[in-house]
Amino acid sequence: MDHDHPEETDGWQRFDRAAFGLIYGAITVLSIAMGVADHSEAPFDTAAMLFGSVLAITLAKAFAELLSHALDFKKHITRMDWRDAWRHSRPTLAVANVPTLLFIMAGFGWVLPETARTLSQGLCVFLLAALGARVGWVLEGNVLSAVLGAVFAGGAGLALALMKFVIH
């Protein structure tokens, strides 16, 4: 059990607690997809770069947070702190799993690499829209706020996905 939060059984509470990592993961995947050259001839390389980059960024963020927290509060880093940092990082890494799997599937020829890219970007945009809707609903408790939250967060993800075409 995370020592900062009581044990929870409600799925929405788990989703809400994972929101930071899910948002961070979706934006990271979209950003990496934007920066990765079109490797349609090497989808296994794309899968490795995508997951490896998300893993490196996530671990770097967790490590920086642990060390800076130790400095800010003059507190030793405990095993519990390491465990909580890993638990907090899991949602970010989870977002990269499906896009990585899609590029592996492209490597085996089961889907086209462009399909893997499009589905990966679509997943991330959908995830951001769902989280935006959740924020709107939780804060205001009405459908309009949920829709506006979905449009705002999903729009930010869509803008990142479309930037790939502008940059490349």
C-alpha to C-alpha distance for 39 and 33, rounded to whole angstroms: 11
For residue range 62-73, list pLDDT tens digits in order: 888 898 988 989
CA–CA distances in Å: residue 33 to residues 15, 76, 101, 105, 167: 25, 37, 14, 16, 12
Question: Does residue 159 register a pLDDT over 60?
Answer: yes
Counting beta carbons within 10 angstroms of the beta carbon of residue 65, is it exposed (0 to 12), middle (13 to 18) or buried (19 or more)? middle
> For residues 150 and 37, which has the higher predicted lDDT (pLDDT)?
150
Of residues 65, 88, 87, 62, the one with CA closest to residue 75: 65
For residue range 37-57, list pLDDT tens digits in order: 565 678 999 999 999 999 999
For residue range 81-112, list pLDDT tens digits in order: 888 888 888 999 999 999 999 999 999 999 99
Tokens of 69: 């927290």
